[in-house]
Amino acid sequence: MNCKAKTTLSPGNNNMAYQLQNDMTIFEDFLNTYCDKTFSTVARLTGTCDVSVITNVTADIFAELWSKREKTVSKDNSCLLFKTILRHALLFLRRQKNEDRIELLMSILLCKEPFSVLEST
């Protein structure tokens, strides 16, 4: 998957535009660093080989992270990133009614907190 982001916004003289440009630059670096790893992790967690499905789930993950960019651009993003990936993978599996895969993940992963997302759906 080619995840390289391209910045096209010019900050101009507007302070808000400058802040958005700065956020976009930081997020672009984050995206370029983690996109391929996220894509492969989604594929492994969901067990699907359908590239379009994996791409859509990956895009949803980064859309959520962009909306929460104040938290995302901290020094260590790995915990937030993995929790977001896991949540989206679990929601995908729930929509697919793939209870066997969910049970498999529950038996492998030590932390049970991310599975609470399944209780509200």
Number of domains in the chain: 1
Say if 2 falls within a structural domain.
no
- What does the pLDDT look like over 14-44, one tens digit per residue? 665 656 667 778 788 888 888 999 999 999 9
Say if 107 falls within a structural domain.
yes
- What does the pLDDT look like over 77-113, one tens digit per residue? 778 888 899 999 999 999 999 999 988 888 887 766 6
* Rounded Cα distance, 18 and 82, in Å: 29
Confidence category of residue 9, pLDDT binned at 50, 70, 90:
very low
Say if 9 falls within a structural domain.
no
What residue numbers bound the domain in which 63 lies? Answer: 15-118
- What does the pLDDT look like over 37-71, one tens digit per residue? 999 999 999 999 999 999 999 999 999 988 877 76
Say if 1 falls within a structural domain.
no
